[in-house]
Structure 1
Amino acid sequence: MSAKPDIVMIVTDQQRYDTIRSLGASHMDTPNLDRLAERGVTFSNCHVTAPSCVPCRASLFTGYYPHTNGVLANGQEWSKTWVSKLRDAGYHTVNIGKMHTIPYDAPAGFDERYVVENKDRYYEGRWFFDEWDKALAAQGLKKQQREEYRKRDDYRTSLGAFTWDLPAHLQSDNFVGGMTRWWLETKPLDKPLFLVVGFPGPHPPYDPTPDYAEKYMKRDVPLPEVSDAELEQLPPPFVEKRHHDVEVDHDSVAWDLQPTRDQLHRMRAYYYANVEMIDREVGEILNALEAAGRLGNAIIIFTSDHGDCLGDHGLSQKWAPYEEVTRVPLIISAPQRFEGGRDVDELVQLFDLGPTILEWAGIEPDESFEAESLNPALEGKPFEGRTHVYCEQGKDVNLTGAEYLTMVRSRSHKLVHFAGKEFGQLFDLDADPKEKRNLWDDPAYAAVKQELKEQMLEWYVQSTLRTKNVRKRTVVPLAEPA
């Protein structure tokens, strides 16, 4: 097709890979995501470059690893993106919902932004009144959040799972979906569209409306199986994180070191209910695109910025680069452009979407990009993917026990390195896909451990060479000779 496509990029927050029925999650009802997968291309081994929101999104929208763009933890400033290249190429660029730029309302290359940030708080004194806050306030309401949840008798046992008890259309994911439909219905365009829809869920608090919560509470859902032996093998930063998450209720999740099966069931049921609510909104967005006459020439992307442990490995939320956190769904659907119903199992990284999207718009990606185009795979050409994927995280509000960690993962093994420490993690993913046995100190795996360490070193070296001209440098000119 010759016309530039409309590009609609739907990004959830903290959605695990194992939450889409057609991709193997039999406990889920996700008919609209199933339809995307059946008509599109699924990248079933897509991994994020950072196990938390802000550094992952900064990496996604810049094309560089966190250590290159300097955004290693939540709260760090970033706003320059490749989106401006699309705007310069004639696209109308729109963001509705969560984007996690710092500052939150930075233009970031968009012609229009309708910002919705985290569900439960006012960012610890860094006041920001977003579109969702305004909509609630206009009806004399304010969002459910920690200050209110803490008044509940069951707060310390709920693990962040609470029903949304205000009007259903004002629940954050419903609100973002509704605003997206409103935009598509009321904003005619005579130019191609780049639309990023950022759903706040299923990030905690896990807050489905009561009808969806009830549906999943009646279901058997997968629950974590964590042994004492696994907990004893956790590296010190993750042990510290477990205790920190009990003492500090980030995102309205008051963690429990020994949650009951009933607690875990409620948390996961509410999380899965949040996912199905998002699935419904995705379907409504697709319908709105079709009604606006934009679906036929559109490329639809569905993905998430990272996953959630949900109690796996005894941990809450993210920051630890287990598969439940680093592996995310990635579906690209454009039946008139790419043959659908295919699964690409090669290793790829989430930020590879950057150059892929730019090429759709006829833009040559910057040669310094560390992200790599997925278009050969989409077009059915030979595609080997990556031999290794990487993930990195700096010290953060929930990761207080480590200054910096780096994950390197091959098809068969994963290593997690903690800067300046003798301990670490090593997993044989073929023999132990659930990552329960840490082989860091096992002499039988010494060669594998060394090989992955050397791979990580080479990655840093090659990254430095590739991006040597990315950062601006101040050069003081030599004085003219007298």
Structure 2
Amino acid sequence: MTDAPDIVFIITDQQRYDTIATLGASHMDTPNIDRLARTGVNFSQCHVTAPSCVPCRASLFTGYYPHTNGVLANGQPWSRTWVSDLANAGYHCVNIGKMHTIPYDAKAGFHERYVVENKDRYMEGRWFFDEWDKALASHGLKKQQREEYRKRDDYRDRLGAFTWDLAPKLQSDNFVGDTACWWLETKPVEKPLFLVVGFPGPHPPYDPTPELAQKYMDRDVPVPDVSDAELADLAGPWVEKRQHDVDVDHDSVAWKLDPTPEELHRMRAYYYANVEMIDTQVGRILDRLEARGNMDNTIVIFTSDHGDNLGDHGLVQKWAPYEEVTRVPLIISAPNRFKAGQVDALVQLFDLGPTILEWAGVTPDPTYEAISLNPALQGETFAGRDHVFCEQAGDVNMTGASFLTMVRSPTHKLVHFRNSDEGQLFDLTSAAGETKNLWDDPGAAEVKQALLQRMLEFHIESTMHTRNARRLIVSPAGAEALQ
């Protein structure tokens, strides 16, 4: 194991692809993520397997699609991961920040966990006190969250955007970054290191410190411009979700059916400011890694678990599998191992699992539905996936659909709703993109049928491939078996 690389996996929560300057977001200042992108391999078409936190992360850390591992919605139990394979191979495995296992403090294969969960943990696990709660309590404080924000006269106008008004070091992303730096500075590790740093942001509430909030408020940031025609053409489940998000203020976001341009500008500005805060912490972590003296044998991953509609399509947050939600940044930087560049083939976020295991000299379980990205990283012929898939079921925010499946090719996307004649079909190559639904367009019938057929084959292939799976994590019904 002397040549085994240190692996540092940085994952944000709810960060869109179009938030990194080097990758085309001219409205952003992200010098440290840019630093990774310039020295690393950028996967420009990485898509998540689920459009919300828990099922996506369960899929990422197990190597199976949500319908296979049984975790299809937020709040459902999971804790078994391939991290234990790294530990068995001689790695010291550490998680600092958000991992979103259920229960929150499950070992999940790690030797050490410093748990920091949602900024606005209002429902499940509400009274679980994580490291951030304890730090705030040591200062006689509690986190800014829904119960406090609701007292504001302008609560419903903020769309989840609030400045962090306590000490800057106690903001959740700064706290996670500080904790990671402290660990790297003080903990001697003789074994190869697998370190997962999970930032809670830019997941709402969008809560940057005041000076960064003002910086982006003063900028001409992109603001959604949703037409009446697009709103009239929305699928029924998303019409219902729009109203649900007005009625129920998830994550301190009280949505509006017709927010003003000023309100949308503030929401976007605060979100982007939160991304820059994270970027600063990424830079500090990279500096600490440099100081440890092993960067020549360290692989750094930067990614996110899904994006955020941020008002696009008249929607907020996630769940609806538009590109703004399903497409995430994925950068892998190890200049001594992998030549910098861009891979445009379709891949899925959970493909990181077998990729990481191979770096550690571990043979991935043959029943994994995830595939290795190492051929692409090593400059070999890499076709990627012909289609990517995304699925969700049973979440409290998705009241209008009991189960959705997205199938996306390089040119088209189809969203199927269980027990419904309604669906979505988009030509991603057209100027209209995901604003014009072709589901009932006779001219698109052939493409629609081909994608429905591919979705059927996807489920059949999944069943056949995983029928002998040895390490599936249990479904909620079997939660008592969790270890």
Specify the TM-score bucket, using the shorter chain as the normaliser.
Answer: over 0.9
> Partners of 1:65 and 1:433 in 2: how far apart?
30
Matched, 1:464 2:471: no
**CA gap 1:215/1:186 in 2 versus in 1, 3 angstroms:** same
> Partners of 2:157 and 2:47 in 1: how far apart?
32
After superposition, residues 80-159 of structure 1 pair within 5 angstroms as 80-124=80-124, 126-159=126-159
Contact 1:63 1:354 (C-alpha < 8 Å) held by counterparts? yes
- What SS class does the counterpart of residue 279 from structure 1 fall into? helix
Counterpart for residue 33 of structure 1: 33
Counterpart for residue 207 of structure 1: 207
Superposition TM-score, scaled by structure 2 size: 0.96
Tell me the number of residue pairs that the alignment of Structure 1 and Structure 2 aligns: 472
- What SS class does the counterpart of residue 450 from structure 1 fall into? helix
> Partners of 2:138 and 2:90 in 1: how far apart?
35
> Partners of 1:447 and 1:225 in 2: how far apart?
31
Shift of residue 293 of structure 1? 1.5
Counterpart for residue 349 of structure 1: 348
Counterpart for residue 249 of structure 2: 249
Contact 1:87 1:109 (C-alpha < 8 Å) held by counterparts? yes
Name whichever of 394-403 and 244-253 sits farther off.
Answer: 394-403
After superposition, residues 401-420 of structure 1 pair within 5 angstroms as 401-420=400-419
Matched, 1:76 2:76: yes
Contact 2:122 2:146 (C-alpha < 8 Å) held by counterparts? no
> Once the two structures are superposed, what CA deviation does each residue of 1:20-56 show, in whole Å capped at 9, x if it has no partner?
0000000000000111000000000000000000000
Shift of residue 191 of structure 1? 0.6
> Partners of 1:148 and 1:438 in 2: how far apart?
40
Contact 1:120 1:252 (C-alpha < 8 Å) held by counterparts? yes
Amino acid in the other structure paired with 1:338 = F
Shift of residue 297 of structure 1? 1.1
Shift of residue 430 of structure 1? 0.5
Contact 1:376 1:382 (C-alpha < 8 Å) held by counterparts? yes
> Once the two structures are superposed, what CA deviation does each residue of 1:316-341 show, in whole Å capped at 9, x if it has no partner?
1000000000000000000010011x
Counterpart for residue 364 of structure 1: 363
> Partners of 2:161 and 2:232 in 1: how far apart?
27
Counterpart for residue 22 of structure 1: 22
Superposition TM-score, scaled by structure 1 size: 0.97
Q: Which runs of 5+ in 2 are unaligned?
A: 473-483
> Once the two structures are superposed, what CA deviation does each residue of 1:389-432 show, in whole Å capped at 9, x if it has no partner?
00000021111111000000000000000011000000000014
> Once the two structures are superposed, what CA deviation does each residue of 1:120-156 show, in whole Å capped at 9, x if it has no partner?
2343564210000000000000000000000011101
After superposition, residues 394-473 of structure 1 pair within 5 angstroms as 394-432=393-431, 434-470=433-469
Counterpart for residue 236 of structure 1: 236
**CA gap 1:433/1:385 in 2 versus in 1, 3 angstroms:** farther
> Partners of 1:336 and 1:433 in 2: how far apart?
42
> Once the two structures are superposed, what CA deviation does each residue of 1:241-291 show, in whole Å capped at 9, x if it has no partner?
000000100000000000000000000000000000000000000001111
> Partners of 1:246 and 1:149 in 2: how far apart?
16
Matched, 1:278 2:281: no
Counterpart for residue 49 of structure 1: 49
Contact 1:177 1:284 (C-alpha < 8 Å) held by counterparts? yes
Amino acid in the other structure paired with 2:14 = Q
Shift of residue 472 of structure 1? 8.0
Counterpart for residue 390 of structure 1: 389
- What SS class does the counterpart of residue 302 from structure 1 fall into? strand
> Partners of 1:290 and 1:31 in 2: how far apart?
17
Contact 1:122 1:128 (C-alpha < 8 Å) held by counterparts? no
Counterpart for residue 176 of structure 2: 176
Contact 2:41 2:332 (C-alpha < 8 Å) held by counterparts? yes
Contact 2:223 2:265 (C-alpha < 8 Å) held by counterparts? yes
Matched, 1:322 2:322: yes
Counterpart for residue 336 of structure 2: 336
Contact 1:120 1:146 (C-alpha < 8 Å) held by counterparts? yes
Counterpart for residue 381 of structure 1: 380
Amino acid in the other structure paired with 1:415 = L
> Partners of 2:227 and 2:387 in 1: how far apart?
29
Counterpart for residue 189 of structure 1: 189
Counterpart for residue 476 of structure 1: none
Shift of residue 225 of structure 1? 1.3
Shift of residue 463 of structure 1? 0.3
> Partners of 1:120 and 1:64 in 2: how far apart?
28
> Partners of 1:121 and 1:281 in 2: how far apart?
23
- What SS class does the counterpart of residue 271 from structure 2 fall into? helix
**CA gap 1:28/1:109 in 2 versus in 1, 3 angstroms:** same
> Partners of 1:173 and 1:48 in 2: how far apart?
22
Percent sequence identity is 75
> Once the two structures are superposed, what CA deviation does each residue of 1:173-204 show, in whole Å capped at 9, x if it has no partner?
00000000000011011110000000000000
Amino acid in the other structure paired with 1:98 = K
**CA gap 1:126/1:163 in 2 versus in 1, 3 angstroms:** closer
- What SS class does the counterpart of residue 435 from structure 1 fall into? helix
Q: Which runs of 5+ in 1 are unaligned?
A: 474-482
Counterpart for residue 64 of structure 2: 64
Name whichever of 132-141 and 462-471 sits farther off.
Answer: 462-471
> Partners of 1:122 and 1:226 in 2: how far apart?
30
> Once the two structures are superposed, what CA deviation does each residue of 1:94-126 show, in whole Å capped at 9, x if it has no partner?
000000000000000000000000002343564
> Partners of 2:67 and 2:433 in 1: how far apart?
28
Amino acid in the other structure paired with 2:38 = E
- What SS class does the counterpart of residue 422 from structure 1 fall into? coil
Contact 1:136 1:170 (C-alpha < 8 Å) held by counterparts? yes
Contact 1:395 1:401 (C-alpha < 8 Å) held by counterparts? no
> Partners of 2:200 and 2:391 in 1: how far apart?
23
